[in-house]
Structure 1
Amino acid sequence: MSNPPFGFGPPDPDKRRDDESPGSGGEQQPGSGADAFNQLGQMLSQLGQMLSQAGSSSGPVNYDLAKQIAMQRLSSSSKLGFTLDDKPADTAVRDAAHLAELWLDAATILPAGASTTVAWTSRDWVEKTLPTWQRLCDPVAKQVSGAWMQALPDEAKQAAGPLLSMVGQMGGMAFGSQLGNALAELASEVLTSTDVGLPLGPAATSALLPANIEKFTEGLERPASEVLVFLAAREAAHQRLFAHVPWLRQRLLATVEEFAHGITVDTSALEQLAGQVDPSNPASIEQAMSSGLLEPQTTPEQQAALNRLETLLALVEGWVDVVVAEAVGDRLPGADALRETLRRRRATGGPAEQTFATLVGLELRPRRMRAASALWKLVGDQHGTEQRDRLWSHPDLMPTADDLDDPMEFAERLGRSGETGEGMDPMAELERTQRAEEASSGDEDPGTEGDGRGDDQR
């Protein structure tokens, strides 16, 4: 939680400022009231142009502006990338994915989840994943905007009048600008559509970004074909999970929404903020907004939601890590090195983690991902691939945060009479989870089905 959630980040340091430029009317006397009004008029005119150029948006985030900014920053990233063994990039990607799927068939009971395999540019990634980002960002931005408006005293709301709608539109532009810059940075480095650990792209579509993979391969001292097949296997494993575990996609996205609903703003901070603003100095408004006074405090309910999301993402990544390692086996000589490289890439706070932390205030802890990988490996070794993968059939059968801390106990529990193979009792697991919830925290809404309650509260 070292990064504030979406909408609370500092302004872009590279943003140009025009409000300090002198007025165009040379006949105005320096420091005169007319000069001040001219500057105000210019500022309002620029604001109007900016609002009209940014596109229309009725929601809490101006996604037209976000896409516009991201595409502009990625204007030179329109090529697919390398050719491999004299094959175009898109052909090489499809061939690598076909080979990876064949290998995965022997490593998991989950069938292929992608009916289409494509090669994307960075700009393709922005366009194809933006609908999912909208679902992730809207709840957070809406709650942030609503919290600010609700925290305003009634007198201030009445005094502001029609300006409130402009404030809302400006807030949507601010969020859109933040999202656009974040997506551009992320799009220039992600390797596949599931690099963030979330199902961002269209369903049943496996996508790799050859140009980014080409940059990633530099310095690895591994053949490009080997890296491509390894990454294609990871993408295909993700797609199998998201396609054949029907509750997983909804659970991941719903937990982000649950976090957003708990966002509040301290009204006393608004009073302090008002004291820092000088209406005659536009720069003071920007400085006050970026001072951190309005950063929300994380509530226990929000922390519980973030813990559940972190655990579930770790379980997804850990399962993919183990399944891909078993699938490629000795077929790729550099598989172990590539596996560790990707783990370190995540551990050092790569673009995926940083962007996700900016958007929802969550940082993935690599320790959880490694622990999840160790748990899935242990379960597979002791109980077999079928039993390991059957755990995904119901959310209440999934390992919890406590199980990641003690994988041996979890594996032993699966091996007890009546809890293995076809005899596994989902109701017993559900009752166990409910007892743990009641013992730790009874103040969460029990009416939301499939939200992973109790995963990290036991």
Structure 2
Amino acid sequence: MSSDNPATPDPGGSDVPAWEQMLRAVLGEGAQDAIRELQARGIDPAAMAEASGLPSDPAALEQVFSQVQKMLALSGDQPVNWQMAHDLARQQAAAGGDPSLSAEQVRQVRDAFAVAELWLDAVTDLPPAAVTSSAWSRAEWVEATLPTWRTLTEPIATSLSAALVGALGSSLPTDTPALPGGIDATQLLRRLGSAVFGMQVGQGAGTLAREVFGTTDVGLPLVATPAPALVPANVDAFAEGLDAPADEVRLFLALRESAATRLFTHVPWLRAHLFGTVETYARGISIDADQLEEAVRSVDPTDAAALQAALSSGVFAPHTTPEQKAALERLETALALVEGWVDEVTAAAALPHLPHAVALREMVRRRRAAGGPAEQTFASLVGLELRPRRLRDAAALWAQITRDSGPEARDAVWAHPDLLPGKEDLDDPTGYAARRAAAVDETADVDRALAEIFGEDPGTGGPGTDGSGSSKGD
């Protein structure tokens, strides 16, 4: 074997070439068998390592070993490598600095939430959530929200992993021997998919940690028990580019966070409704095998930069079926309704008190409509966008309901999922009241018809005609 290849001391004290350490890190006891197999086929592992640009620096080499072990860990076939996702999310969140919060920053956030709750009491019947508000660093935001990213992405990753194996598994040679450690080609595919999802989720969550203001400004509740929270570093960064004072910006964003928290707290079916729609989408995931094979052929696996660019551009994005398009449309409508309600209620609470309320409302609207790089990462990975494209239409609908029937009627729409407005209501907010009245009349007609069939008095809801529920004979 070539002696020119870089080597670092192993735990036993002998000099071991870097390429051999890499094989040992990945394959464990099977490394020597793999080396003998390569040499028997006339392949020089040292030459391969030199051509691949394996680092000679011990610290860099150790980092490579760590990453490879994480990517192909033998701890199980999870659809997402969550350790990798967690570590990468924390690294991304800390990029550019993430200092601990000062006592003053915590006090400012709590004071903003206290004022926000008072202002919201005047414009909505939904009461405050009986929880404590929080101020978080970016790292704390990652730790608090990563369990929900798991709930959100794991069904999609599971379906996509199965589709990936189904699409590529049939093209694998049937006589391919198992890798050392008993890993067959199918398991390797699953673990590769798990690593890809771990990198993408970690990258997305970590980047979001540098962008979001709280726990609800992506439209979905990112903590299991809704509680208002703000990330002061992101709030301050947002305020730097505006004409409004930082205190006013903080108050406006606290209003939005508190309003959304009230909604998710007192409409208990809403979180399950949103996540259930995501699961419906996930169950129908399939992959266009021809498109995937063409994409794989176009990627040079030895070019790390090209591979990363391909993954980010959606090489493994699923083929969207008509059923999935319908599920995505339902999700899009629901997200728009949530964002629109929060937008309308926040504006009603802020306008009497904040001089820059109109400008701040428009800035937040544009920010949500455009989406950031993290949201684009999730969209390219699973075809799932968390942006409410119809935010303005939804806000106009809630404003119309308020004008027609008052804020009590606006908030009462959330009493049951069957009462939620649909796409046609976003298309024509002014006709919502007439359509709702027609639907009520249609339901009443059905009730009367059923009453006649079962011999009930439609005016009383019970048998007989005396209004007491007793039959005429009684």
From 178, 192, 201, the counterpart of 2:214:
192
CA separation of 1:342/1:292 partners in 2, compared to 1, >3 Å: closer, same or farther?
A: closer
TM-score by length of 2: 0.74
Could you say which residue in structure 2 is the equivalent of 1:95? Answer: 111
What's the CA shift string for 1:131-178, capped at 9, x where partnerless? 000011111111111112123228635526423323322221121111
From 70, 81, 95, the counterpart of 2:89:
70
Check the 8 A contact 1:322/1:376 in 2, yes or no.
yes
CA separation of 1:283/1:334 partners in 2, compared to 1, >3 Å: closer, same or farther?
A: closer
Give the Cα–Cα distance (whole angstroms) in 2 for the partners of residues 286 and 101 of structure 1. 48
Deviation, 1:58, is 3.6
Could you say which residue in structure 1 is the equivalent of 2:231? Answer: 209
What's the CA shift string for 1:196-233, capped at 9, x where partnerless? 11100241321100011000000212111111111111
Give the Cα–Cα distance (whole angstroms) in 2 for the partners of residues 143 and 380 of structure 1. 42
Question: Is 1:144 matched up with 2:160?
Answer: yes
From 338, 347, 357, the counterpart of 2:369:
347
Deviation, 1:409, is 1.1
Stretches of structure 2 lacking an aligned partner (at least 5 in a row): 8-16, 18-38, 55-60, 179-183, 448-474
Q: Which residue identity is paired with 1:140?
A: I
Question: Is 1:236 matched up with 2:253?
Answer: no
Question: Is 1:159 matched up with 2:163?
Answer: no
Could you say which residue in structure 1 is the equivalent of 2:21? Answer: none
Deviation, 1:287, is 8.8
Give the Cα–Cα distance (whole angstroms) in 2 for the partners of residues 237 and 268 of structure 1. 47
**1:10-89 aligned within 5 A:** 23-24=5-6, 36-40=44-48, 49-53=66-70, 56=75, 58-75=77-94, 77-80=97-100, 88-89=104-105
What's the CA shift string for 1:398-452, capped at 9, x where partnerless? 1001110011111233467967xxxx969989xxxxxxxxxxxxxxxxxxxxxxx
Give the Cα–Cα distance (whole angstroms) in 2 for the partners of residues 157 and 174 of structure 1. 25
CA separation of 1:314/1:158 partners in 2, compared to 1, >3 Å: closer, same or farther?
A: farther
Check the 8 A contact 2:78/2:194 in 1, yes or no.
yes
Deviation, 1:80, is 5.0
Number of residue equivalences:
393
What's the CA shift string for 1:297-346, capped at 9, x where partnerless? 21100110111000000000000011111112311111111101101112
The percent identity for this pair of structures is: 45
Give the Cα–Cα distance (whole angstroms) in 2 for the partners of residues 39 and 174 of structure 1. 28
**1:96-111 aligned within 5 A:** 96-111=112-127
- Which structure is larger by alpha-carbon Rg, 1 or 2? 2
Deviation, 1:353, is 3.9
Check the 8 A contact 1:263/1:296 in 2, yes or no.
yes
Give the Cα–Cα distance (whole angstroms) in 2 for the partners of residues 223 and 149 of structure 1. 54
Q: Which residue identity is paired with 2:87?
A: Q
Check the 8 A contact 2:333/2:388 in 1, yes or no.
no
**1:285-324 aligned within 5 A:** 286=307, 294-324=316-346
Check the 8 A contact 2:200/2:378 in 1, yes or no.
no
Give the Cα–Cα distance (whole angstroms) in 1 for the partners of residues 440 and 160 of structure 2. 48
Q: Which residue identity is paired with 2:396?
A: A
CA separation of 1:356/1:154 partners in 2, compared to 1, >3 Å: closer, same or farther?
A: closer
Deviation, 1:293, is 6.2
Give the Cα–Cα distance (whole angstroms) in 1 for the partners of residues 221 and 392 of structure 2. 21
Stretches of structure 1 lacking an aligned partner (at least 5 in a row): 1-21, 27-31, 430-458
Q: Secondary structure at the match of 1:116?
A: coil
Give the Cα–Cα distance (whole angstroms) in 1 for the partners of residues 436 and 385 of structure 2. 30
Deviation, 1:36, is 4.1
Give the Cα–Cα distance (whole angstroms) in 2 for the partners of residues 95 and 403 of structure 1. 38
After alignment, is 33-42 or 70-79 more displaced?
33-42
**1:115-154 aligned within 5 A:** 115-151=131-167, 152-153=169-170
Check the 8 A contact 1:107/1:323 in 2, yes or no.
yes
Q: Secondary structure at the match of 2:220?
A: coil
Could you say which residue in structure 1 is the equivalent of 2:397? Answer: 375
Give the Cα–Cα distance (whole angstroms) in 2 for the partners of residues 367 and 277 of structure 1. 33
CA RMSD of superposed structures (Å):
3.4
CA separation of 1:23/1:135 partners in 2, compared to 1, >3 Å: closer, same or farther?
A: same
Q: Which residue identity is paired with 1:172?
A: S
Check the 8 A contact 1:126/1:183 in 2, yes or no.
yes
Give the Cα–Cα distance (whole angstroms) in 1 for the partners of residues 205 and 242 of structure 2. 26
Give the Cα–Cα distance (whole angstroms) in 1 for the partners of residues 138 and 80 of structure 2. 22
Q: Which residue identity is paired with 1:72?
A: Q
**1:279-428 aligned within 5 A:** 282-283=302-303, 286=307, 294-351=316-373, 353-363=375-385, 367-414=389-436
Deviation, 1:188, is 0.6
Check the 8 A contact 2:317/2:381 in 1, yes or no.
no
Give the Cα–Cα distance (whole angstroms) in 2 for the partners of residues 186 and 319 of structure 1. 23
CA separation of 1:353/1:371 partners in 2, compared to 1, >3 Å: closer, same or farther?
A: farther
Give the Cα–Cα distance (whole angstroms) in 2 for the partners of residues 34 and 418 of structure 1. 79
Give the Cα–Cα distance (whole angstroms) in 1 for the partners of residues 91 and 48 of structure 2. 29
What's the CA shift string for 1:247-273, capped at 9, x where partnerless? 110111111111111111233346556
Deviation, 1:351, is 4.5
After alignment, is 65-74 or 164-173 more displaced?
164-173
Check the 8 A contact 2:228/2:257 in 1, yes or no.
yes
CA separation of 1:417/1:212 partners in 2, compared to 1, >3 Å: closer, same or farther?
A: closer
TM-score by length of 1: 0.76
Q: Which residue identity is paired with 2:302?
A: P
Deviation, 1:70, is 1.8
After alignment, is 172-181 or 264-273 more displaced?
264-273
Q: Secondary structure at the match of 1:170?
A: helix
Check the 8 A contact 2:218/2:387 in 1, yes or no.
no
Give the Cα–Cα distance (whole angstroms) in 2 for the partners of residues 333 and 276 of structure 1. 55
Q: Secondary structure at the match of 2:133?
A: strand
Give the Cα–Cα distance (whole angstroms) in 2 for the partners of residues 292 and 329 of structure 1. 42
Deviation, 1:381, is 1.1
Could you say which residue in structure 2 is the equivalent of 1:9? Answer: none
